[in-house]
Amino acid sequence: MTFIHARKTGDLMLKYIVGLCCFMVLPLSAHAEDLMGLYKAALDADPALRSAEYEGKVSEELHRQSLANFLPNASAQFQTQTTKQKILRSDNAVFGQGSTRYPTTNWTASLTQPLFHLDAWYAYSKTELGEIRSSLELSAARQDLMVRLVEAYLVALESEENYTLAVAERTTLASELNIATVKYASGLLSVSDLRDVEARSAEVTAQVISSQAAVQDALEVLRGMVGISIKSMHPLSKDAVLPALTPMSVDERVSSAVENNYTVQSKAVAVTIAEKESDKQFAQHYPTVDLIARYNRQDTKGSLFGGGSKVDTSEVLLQVDLPLYEGGRTASLTRESLYRVEQARQELEAAHRSVERDIRAGYIQLLSSSEKIDALRKSLEAKRSLYELKREGHRAGVSSMLEKLEAQRDFYIAERDLVASRYDHLLNYVKIRQAAGSLDGQDLKQINSLLAGESMAASTYEKPDAVIVSPLRVAANNTSAEAPAELVVVQTPSTATVPSAPVVMDEKGVAVETPASADKPALTGEDALAALEQWRQAWSKQDLQHYFDSYAPNFKPNAGSLADWKADRRRKIDGKNMIRVNLGDVKLETIEAGKTAKVIFRQYYLSDTYTDESMKQVTFELHGNRWLIVREINI
């Protein structure tokens, strides 16, 4: 077993690597919320890591204390006393009776040099090993922090993507429910089918609520480690090439892990420490030898029989202390220490087995996860195609609405499974690196480089029915690559399309879309929706300048003056640690001669202190070549 002695050098190197990585990936503005930025904050804020650092300082002080057992011990004493004596009976006829009262002062200085204390030598060796163990445990705590941070970050991202998919599915089902309600009212749908659609819609609404809570919980876990509120995160890119292990047989990997794993090394040092403690307790049977030098001056101002004295005394002693019997205490302590040696050995064996199990299981999972991800991609594509077939079959009257909804549900389940498998792969990679004792700042930098761009819950599919935005996405360029055309997906304003016209039924009661007019003004409804998305993003980013730029100079607040409204909005937006605004059921209501556009949508508001859902109507007016808001009301 190899122990790490160069603790200070290793610590400095780790801090240098982390600092360099953070410098390379962090922006120069306020704290970044990518993985490396959060790790840098966690190094100073995580209580578990800070506790391990203080444990190291405790070990250093214990080592200094054990060294003191070999050094001279000097002391000085001063004593003053008053003595009162009275003769009650005396055989001396001269001093047969009488009394006296006199003071006495004593000055004493002593110097003790330990010569032989066998238990002190074992105690000193034990504290040396304690420092090494603290260093190993600190390294293990740093790796544990990396794993906990990566796991919390990935859980937050997965929860966020699940929330995005749940909102998208809810919006899609809301549209289907509207269609089902119209068909039921027209006698074209049975009550059982209507209740089925209602049940599906309610079930997905519950998923939205639970996934929203999961996002908040994951952010709180992160905040507990880094000490700051998380406002945005970078998702795992849908095109990211996930990391793989270097070629090595599993047995070689296990052998290397047992040699390098910090926890195993710490347990091995603990066995040696327990053996030193056993030697120390057995050494209590041996004698101790001390060299003592002592000087004393006694000044007495009187005595019972008359006259005082001043006496100087100097002594040099060789003191040997031989323990004989202490009630069996020393023998019991020795047996206890032997049991603790065996206990430490069993803990070391358990650590060996745990690391071997983690390496073997993680190795198999990591090798199979790439194939699993490929299989889930194919499954997602197949379920997308199946949904399109069911949708076309429903339009043609050969598939029921419930068959189409079942295919739609399967698609979203496949999407969630693929999202989870990609995050699981990353987490397994980090954990197997930790088990091997090789996890460091470079691994976090590698993972951080994958967390950028479009997520799996985002793609470039061209014709969604509505526009929604992920609750924590800073740049909403997200649309699902595998999403069927009628599924609600996340998308950028640059590719956003005007939602279809109101539902129209054909002679079979199947919903059909009315064609859009080919004649469009220079600035169309699509541009109004793009302006709406810019307004939403500015609000979510708490970017007051661009938020207020979305409003026209002639904007009319619902109450008060424009200046009062701006002051109130500035206070409410600046006063939050985090704001997310999502839009669903977006409908372009009217466009008047290319100069006025009215948009109705459902607004989902989420902040660190408040959550709200409401219907809103925003009126845009063309100012130059920009759509600006002139009216904003809740409906």
pLDDT-wise least confident of 88-92, 386-390, 403-407, 503-507: 503-507
pLDDT (tens digit, 9 = 90+) per residue, 29-55? 333 378 888 889 889 988 999 999 999
Question: What mean pLDDT comes out for the span 2-7?
Answer: 40
To the nearest whole number, what is the mean pLDDT of the chain? 80
Q: Is the pLDDT of residue 96 over 90?
A: no
CATH class of this structure's domain 7-61+129-264+346-450+458-468: mainly alpha
Q: Is the pLDDT of residue 140 over 60?
A: yes
- CA 77/CA 293 separation, integer angstroms: 14
Which residues, other chains included, contact 414 with Cβ-Cβ below 8 Å and sequence gap of 6+? Answer: 376, 379, 380, 383
pLDDT in tens, 460-487: 222 233 333 333 333 233 333 333 434 4
Consecutive H or E run containing 290: strand 288-300
% of the chain residues with pLDDT over 70? 82
Out of 3.10.450.50, 3.30.930.20, 3.10.620.30, 3.40.50.2300, the CATH code matching 517-634 is 3.10.450.50
What pLDDT does 180 receive? 84
The pLDDT tens digits for 513-533 are 333 333 434 456 678 888 998
Closest by CA position to 531, among listed 561, 502, 552, 516? 552
Mean pLDDT across the stretch 569-574?
Answer: 90
Whether residue 378 has pLDDT greater than 50: yes
Domain positions in the chain: 7-61+129-264+346-450+458-468, 69-128+275-345, 517-634
For residues 161-176, average pLDDT: 88
Which secondary-structure segment (H or E) carries 410? helix 401-435
- Say whether pLDDT at 5 is over 60: no
Per-residue pLDDT at 503 exceeds 60: no
Distance CA 578, CA 466 (A): 25
What is the reported pTM? 0.63
